[in-house]
């Protein structure tokens, strides 16, 4: 019996260690106040987690905000949850870092290019679902499903250090230009058509 307990304990030990290793700390400022999916404080508007990613073979730290959710109807049992999902895509010498907001269903992307040893922020793009009021004739308008796209092409800023902060990238959007695009097109296609001044066909 004792031998069985010892063997079971030895078998489970790596899993406990893995769970501890995989725990993602939650920070408020420089102070760790908990773990992702763990018990949360009642409110925390500026709490973050830090993910490690690679862009163009460069290791970077990405700071994103967390949200506080409740387990079922247990109001007294809040936990920390991801507010933003981080996705990296690389192709044709360009890199795209996308933040998918789980609360607003908004997608926010920052595009990078490599310039010798530096990573350059080329543009920033946000997209979300909405509707567009399209004129069919004089005093005749119809609402169509649309992708609302906002972009900032005037970036070309060198990334300094190894930390990317979501709030610094998309906290202020005064420099963004926005337009509506039919939902049958991808965001990339919408941007291309907008650049070429093509007229959108709504259907």
pLDDT for 2: 39
Do residues 148 and 125 touch, judged by C-beta distance below 8 A? no
Phi, psi of 113 (to 5 degrees): -135, 155
Of 148, 154, 150, the C-alpha closest to 181 is 148
Cβ-proximal residues to 36 (8 Å cutoff; 6+ apart), any chain: 23, 24, 25, 26, 49, 66, 80, 81, 82
Q: How far apart are CA 192 and CA 186, in angstroms?
A: 10
Do residues 129 and 144 touch, judged by C-beta distance below 8 A? no
Q: What is the mean pLDDT of the chain?
A: 82
Do residues 147 and 187 touch, judged by C-beta distance below 8 A? yes
Mean of the pLDDT values across residues 132-137?
84
Mean of the pLDDT values across residues 70-97?
82
Which one is predicted more confidently, 117 or 106? Answer: 106
* Tens-digit pLDDT profile for residues 15-38: 333 333 358 999 998 899 999 988
pLDDT-derived band of residue 183, with 50, 70 and 90 as boundaries? very high
pLDDT for 99: 94
């Amino acid at each position: 019996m004792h031998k069985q307990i010892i063997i079971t304990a030895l078998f489970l030990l790596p899993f406990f260690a893995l769970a501890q290793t995989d725990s993602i700390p939650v920070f408020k400022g420089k102070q760790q106040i908990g773990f992702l999916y763990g018990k949360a404080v009642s409110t925390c508007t500026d709490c973050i987690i830090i993910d490690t990613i690679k862009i163009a073979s460069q290791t970077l730290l990405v700071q994103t905000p967390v949200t506080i959710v409740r387990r079922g109807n247990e109001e007294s049992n809040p936990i920390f949850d991801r507010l933003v999902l981080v996705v990296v895509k690389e192709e044709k010498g360009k890199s795209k870092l996308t933040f998918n907001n789980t609360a607003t269903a908004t997608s926010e992307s920052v595009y990078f290019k490599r310039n010798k040893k530096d990573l350059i922020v080329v543009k920033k793009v946000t997209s979300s679902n909405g509707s567009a009021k399209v004129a069919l004739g004089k005093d005749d308008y119809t609402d169509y499903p649309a992708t609302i796209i906002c972009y900032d092409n005037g970036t070309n800023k060198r990334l300094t250090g190894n930390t990317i902060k979501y709030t610094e990238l998309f906290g202020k959007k005064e420099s963004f230009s926005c337009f509506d695009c039919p939902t049958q097109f991808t965001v990339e296609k919408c941007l291309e058509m907008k650049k070429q001044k093509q007229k959108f066909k709504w259907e």
